[in-house]
Structure 1
């Protein structure tokens, strides 16, 4: 859709090269008003993508989002211009853009609105959103979420927990950060604190897929046999022993082995525990998430077995 010039009310026409060169020399972070909107946002986007951040001084989410956008603008080092529009001070521009709530972030390229999002997104999601249109610098640092995930992958749950604690405190409205914190606490060996975080989520978010996944991992840890109980199963070949071994594998994060064992138990003794193997498979899928490769693979195998 075309971008409208707030001064004339008409669609932008292509600028000449001297005007776009002037826009290209602008700083990577620019405050927008009536005097520079056309040059920076409209004409400037013909050469360099412009990320227009519409905000207001009274908007707390805006205050959380703006530092993230500024950080990314500096990191991208001119690959896009961050244009900041205070809608209270420049209501005419906001009206022309159709701004109804803030924060409202619009990506403008070649004088056109390419994409937009409203509200506050985690830094990782903003990076992923930007990456669809603008190439990130090769030496771009990891986002806090990526740092936390790398720490978890390396077995350093304490570092991950610290990062998610900071993110949760800085962005209290981001429920995902609190769910990630619960997951890190669980990985760190603090199931009681993890449960307290999950129980403290808003009621409408407690049953979200991501929260269900962490709660499922928490429950698997409680249900799985201890090392001593597992040793006592040595030599047993009955369905209960196979089930408990599979449960321990899942609780330990050895998901593939646990899923495989549950699927084999289902083939061997579908009636065990009132179809307990299949029900537990579904719980593991919940814990992993619908898009996890193991969920996709074993859901397909489960379907093939049943039908």
Structure 2
């Protein structure tokens, strides 16, 4: 097959051999010359297998259209997760780049020349040179963000699972968020942020023990990082805070106990800025409440969010100004 520029229908290279599967009759929606009709892109127009017989043509093609080189191996389990995502994106991006798949086990010399040390290794090649690369089976959301550095995202790009889960969390539907993150975790078992997000959803459902168990099984560097600490803090705040019904019953009260409980509930629900603001105001009005409980809780939140978090930076300054 020729490598086709879907934007023009013109061949970028001379024809190279193709399998019986890709030489089958063109499906509906293709032009007479076999290229995709306007507005449509076929996988075979933007995806090609690479070997010693066509690697030079691939590099020549990159002078006109960027090439995303997917370096993989048959024994690589993460590759089996990543490649279908790249294939989907290649079609979705309608020819903004060509996806070239290189089996480094069958083409070890090419892999060595390209500096491939582990797979999956995805390299962006343009004008015959390496622009950027990433290694490992990144989640689709991260790949989209990486591609977004170099290509205009399609206008009709689907909503990512992460965005759906976050929308569910914001709507108070932790169960839906949990189901999404469970599916993502099964697909990307080594992408630990999904496990942290799943723990957050479990905590929001009141399943703190399950959430803690999930966090406890993370590698030490992930278990002790700010996102996981934040979930642990949220679980603790949930256990200390009054239920929502009791918080609603305090609506008419403005004493220190009511204000503290409202702030704790906000922290438990992930409304960190509102909770921090409530604690700071409580310090201003009643510093001695609960043996300095407001200040101690503020420090707990800072530790959970991490020193570099914008809310930590902002409210540390406010706390310092209040104390000194």
Per-residue CA deviation, residues 215-273 of structure 1 (Å, 9 max, x unaligned), is 111111001134448857975734x5543332123224443332112112233454555
C-alpha spacing 1:279/1:27, structure 2 compared with 1 (3 Å): farther
Choose which of 54, 68, 74 in structure 1 pairs with 2:91: 74
Q: Per-residue deviation at 1:110? A: 1.9
Moved more, 146-155 or 263-272: 263-272
Query: 2:142 and 2:254 mapped to 1: Cα distance?
Result: 48
The number of residue pairs the alignment matches comes to 287
Choose which of 118, 121, 143 in structure 2 pairs with 1:126: 143
Q: Please name the residue that 1:50 is paired with.
A: 67
Check conservation: 1:230, 1:245, Cα contact below 8 A. no
Q: Per-residue deviation at 1:284? A: 2.8
Choose which of 106, 121, 127 in structure 2 pairs with 1:110: 127
Q: Please name the residue that 2:261 is paired with.
A: 244
Q: Per-residue deviation at 1:293? A: 5.5
Q: Per-residue deviation at 1:295? A: 4.4
Moved more, 65-74 or 269-278: 269-278
Query: 2:80 and 2:291 mapped to 1: Cα distance?
Result: 53
Q: Please name the residue that 2:6 is paired with.
A: none
Q: Please name the residue that 2:27 is paired with.
A: none
C-alpha spacing 1:274/1:102, structure 2 compared with 1 (3 Å): farther
Check conservation: 1:20, 1:44, Cα contact below 8 A. no
Q: Please name the residue that 1:211 is paired with.
A: 228
C-alpha spacing 1:55/1:225, structure 2 compared with 1 (3 Å): same
SS in 1 for 2:60: helix
Check conservation: 2:47, 2:90, Cα contact below 8 A. yes
By relative contact order (CA 8 Å, sep 6+), the higher-ranking structure is: 1
Q: Per-residue deviation at 1:299? A: 3.8
C-alpha spacing 1:76/1:230, structure 2 compared with 1 (3 Å): closer
C-alpha spacing 1:274/1:104, structure 2 compared with 1 (3 Å): farther
Choose which of 31, 39, 48 in structure 2 pairs with 1:30: 48
Q: Please name the residue that 1:101 is paired with.
A: 118
The 5 A counterparts of 1:112-191 are 112-191=129-208
Check conservation: 1:157, 1:185, Cα contact below 8 A. yes
C-alpha spacing 1:110/1:234, structure 2 compared with 1 (3 Å): same
Query: 2:61 and 2:75 mapped to 1: Cα distance?
Result: 29
Query: 2:312 and 2:194 mapped to 1: Cα distance?
Result: 23
Per-residue CA deviation, residues 149-204 of structure 1 (Å, 9 max, x unaligned), is 22223332222211111111122111111111111222233323222222232333
Query: 1:133 and 1:73 mapped to 2: Cα distance?
Result: 14
Q: Could you tell me the TM-score, scaled by structure 1's length? A: 0.82
Q: Please name the residue that 1:261 is paired with.
A: 278
Moved more, 259-268 or 247-256: 247-256
* 2:223 is the counterpart of 1:223: no
Q: Please name the residue that 1:9 is paired with.
A: none
Q: Name stretches of at least 5 consecutive residues in structure 2 with no aligned partner.
A: 1-9, 16-34, 36-43
Query: 2:292 and 2:66 mapped to 1: Cα distance?
Result: 56
Greater percentage in helix: 1
Choose which of 195, 202, 214 in structure 2 pairs with 1:197: 214
Per-residue CA deviation, residues 57-99 of structure 1 (Å, 9 max, x unaligned), is 1122222221221121121121111111111111111111111
* 2:57 is the counterpart of 1:39: yes
Check conservation: 2:226, 2:305, Cα contact below 8 A. no
